[in-house]
Amino acid sequence: MEHYNKDFLVAEIAARESFTQGDVEIILNSLRKVIQEIVASGDELTFVGLFDIHSIKMKPHKSFDIKTNKYIEQDKYRLTIKPSVVLKKLFHDGIRKIDPPNEEE
């Protein structure tokens, strides 16, 4: 399996869509900032065909505060990124092409 990074995405998008790499870099940086702001605010993001991002409030966590010598309860959150149905299907179809299931099993 290959490992791709942002530089690859910039070059690939620029080549496919006839943009300059500088323009694509600006767009991807803005996309990153917008996604970070949405996540930081606790809001949800659905990027159709790719993923959903949302936070889940978990059971409060009890911890000991050494400054006050008291137990405190803090809300706890978990960030989840769930691939879309389309992305999961593409992944599983691609994996089957790379490593077809053994029909004898």
- What are the pLDDT digits (tens) for 26-78? 999 999 999 999 999 989 999 999 999 998 888 888 889 899 999 998 888 89
pLDDT at res. 98? 60
Q: How far is CA 95 from CA 6, 50, 55, 85, 89, in A?
A: 23, 17, 29, 15, 10
pLDDT at res. 95? 74
Distance of CA 50 to the CA centre of its chain: 9
Question: Residue 105 — very low, low, confident or very high, per pLDDT cuts 50/70/90?
Answer: very low
